[in-house]
Amino acid sequence: MLGWIVLAIGLVLVVEGLLYALAPSLARRMAEAAASVPPGTLRLAGVGAVAAGVILVWFGRSVG
């Protein structure tokens, strides 16, 4: 199980790193836009992202 957690964290870092490496101005604009969004909306988006991630992991594990 620990191997899966390390793999998942590594993949997140790769995706985030690609954003900053390939489009730093886009990353900056996204951060500025996120600062103007109400906390409740950000929280709801975070919960949605977690749910989508859990579904993707479940689907990936059941297929492969």
User: Would you place residue 5 in the very low, low, confident or very high pLDDT band (cuts 50, 70, 90)?
Assistant: confident
pLDDT surpasses 80 at 15:
yes
Cβ–Cβ under 8 Å, residues 41 and 49: no
What's the whole-number mean pLDDT along residues 25-38?
A: 94
Can you count the helices (H) and strands (E) in the chain? Answer: 3, 0
Residue in this structure with the two tokens 């620990």, named with its chain if needed:
2
Mean pLDDT for the stretch of residues 31-52: 95
Distance CA 43, CA 37 (A): 10
C-beta separation of 50 from 42 below 8 A? no
Rounded Cα distance between 39 and 8, Å, is 26
Question: 61 or 13: which carries more pLDDT confidence?
Answer: 13
pTM recorded for the entire structure: 0.69
